[in-house]
Amino acid sequence: MLRGVPMGAILAELYGKREGCSGGRGGSMHLFDAGKRFFGGNAIVGGGLPIAVGLGLADVLAKRSRVTACFFGEGAVAEGAFHESMNLAQLWRLPVAFFCENNLYAMGTALARSESQTDLCAKAASYGMATIKVDGMDVVAVHAAARQACAQVRAGQGPVFVEFQTYRFRAHSMFDPELYRDKAEVEEWKKRGPIHSYTARLKAQGDLTEAQFLELDRAAMQEVEQAVAYAEAGTWEPVAELTRHVTAT
């Protein structure tokens, strides 16, 4: 699930079915469910940052005690919207936690080839914002950093920027030939795969048996299969309604 949005509703959206969380109109890049306070993805790189700032400002004006969590990749840091959002969020001390997943390659461009300053926390800190840098391959460290960031925001200390230093094992998309990185580099990072590292840690601590792990794996696969079945059984939107929600000026 994504913040309470059922997996079936997410897959139905990817299938373009009416049962999708966006009625089948959002596709893979515009998942949205206002009822769950999930304000979706954005096809524009960095497009979610100013939206998060707007949501944070709305909560302040309405005197609502909330934290807006904004997720984006390191490629978004090169966009002007990033700097504008950092500036306003800190200036107005908005309740926003900015979570940057730095996987070193924005689509196919290495960070060092697009950024003169590769310390992403330094960029956010230049606006006076509190920052946290964490090993994004360590599940426990990620959880602790997220809790810390949200606690600081809830305490009224202003926004927080968190950089998760992580890695993408697969291609950016099905059309990505991955000519920008060495296969040996990918294999080396795979040794730090967060799921395997975490399960190994739990087993070493005596908190997880192999049988329990296999049961969790089976349950997860069953949930995926049920979601796929739900999406495939979904209904197409009638042709007569294709222009619904479409406006022109």
Q: Please report which confidence band the pLDDT of residue 2 belongs to, taking 50, 70 and 90 as the band edges.
A: low
**Which residue spans of the chain are classified as CATH 3.40.50.970?**
45-181
- Name residue, tokens 């009416």: 18
60 close to 95: Cβ distance less than 8 angstroms: yes
pLDDT digits (tens, 9 = 90+) for 203-229: 999 999 999 999 999 999 999 999 999
pTM over 0.95, yes/no: no
Tens of pLDDT, residues 80-138: 999 999 999 999 999 999 999 999 999 889 999 999 999 999 999 999 999 999 999 99
Helix axes 139-154, 194-204, angle to 10 degrees: 100
Identify whether the C-beta of residue 145 lies closer than 8 Å to the C-beta of residue 132.
yes
Binned at pLDDT 50, 70 and 90, residue 54 comes out as very high
More confident residue, 236 or 43: 236
Share of the chain above pLDDT 70, in %: 98
Helices 210-232 & 194-204 angle (0-180, nearest 10):
140
Query: What 3-state class would DSSP assign to 186?
Result: helix
| pLDDT the model gives residue 3 | 59
Query: Is the per-residue pLDDT at 71 higher than 90?
Result: yes
CATH for 45-181 is 3.40.50.970
